[in-house]
Structure 1
Amino acid sequence: MTQSIQVAGLYVHDQDEALQFYEKLGFAVHTDARNGDYRWLTVHHPDQPGLQLGLFRPQAPTVDEVTAKALLEAVAKGAMPPLVMVVDDCRAVYERMRNCGVEFTQEPTERYGAVDASFRDPSGNGWKLVQARKV
């Protein structure tokens, strides 16, 4: 039996705003489907087409209104674990992304034998850019 993870989801305040942001990072729409008020929106990176990133609003039928509000508040505070994007050259990707309007919370820093930088999406989800270690 084959198993694989195909979608990893993020909670976002505004799906259109999130889509514009992730397109700046090089992601493209994989699925954009609506069922009433519910929108299933996923993107994927061309270098990793088998993994989709879901840009979801917390809402019914998955959570109630009070829980949805609490989740969005936690995301906005940066309380969710960061996602990690491995890159060949952290400084070059940092400059390219910064020139596209991505706001970084940490410039490229050398530590633990690698270089990393941090940024957040418009909803508050944290990301780490990590330069692949040379072995």
Structure 2
Amino acid sequence: MNISVSHFFITVHDPDEALAFYRDALGLRVVNDVANEGFRWVTLGSPQQPDVEIVLSQPHGGRPAADGDALLELLTKGSLPGVLFRTDDVDAFFESVRAKGAEVLQEPTDQPWGVRDCAFRDPSGNLIRIAQAPRG
């Protein structure tokens, strides 16, 4: 018996703004785009990991109003967990994402724990870190 990651969710204010970041700046491909009852769920993936998909969802989509309000408050404060991506050349990837207008939080830096990474905020304020894959 085994288990693997299939999907993970990132909460966003505006699916169109988020799509411009995740598709156009990060280079992910759209797998699915579903609208239901005034909300959208956009599923994206990486050609390098076709079995793992990211779902961009709105705070109130599919949730009770009070839960959506609480999630929106956390999103607005920038208090939701970040997402970590990996690339084989963090410096080149950083320049590509920065050139597309993403908000830079940290330029590529060698970290004391042994990775080289950089950081951005997506249009909703989510922390996005990009680390260089270990060479070996």
- Aligned equivalents of 2:61, 2:32: Cα separation in 1: 20
Gaps of 5+ in 2: none
Q: Percentage identity across aligned positions? A: 40
Match of 1:70 in 2: 70
* 8 Å CA contact retained: 1:30, 1:44: yes
Q: Distance in 1 between matches of 2:87 and 2:34?
A: 30
Contact 1:76 1:125 in 2 (8 A): no
Paired position in structure 1 for 2:18: 18
Residues 80 and 126 in structure 2, CA contact (< 8 A), matched pair in contact too: yes
Partner of 2:33: 32
CA RMSD of aligned residues (A): 1.8
Match runs of 1:1-135 below 5 Å:
3-24=3-24, 25-59=26-60, 61-64=62-65, 66-111=66-111, 112-135=113-136
CA deviation after TM superposition for structure 1 residue 114, in Å: 2.1
- How many residue pairs end up in the alignment? 134
TM-score if structure 1 supplies the norm length? 0.87
How far 1:128 sits from its partner (Å)?
1.0
Report the Cα distance in structure 2 between the residues aligned to 1:74 and 1:128, rounded to whole angstroms: 19
Deviation at 1:4, TM superposition (A): 3.5
Alpha-carbon distance in structure 2 between the residues aligned to 1:36 and 1:76? 23
Residue 98 of structure 1 deviates from its aligned partner by 0.6
Q: Which region of structure 1 is more displaced relative to structure 2, 40-49 or 11-20?
A: 40-49
Runs (4+) of structure 1 exceeding 3 A deviation are 1-4
Tell me how far apart the structure 2 counterparts of residues 132 and 60 of structure 1 sit (CA, whole Å): 34
**In structure 1, how many angstroms separate the alpha carbons of the residues matched to 2:97 and 2:82?**
17
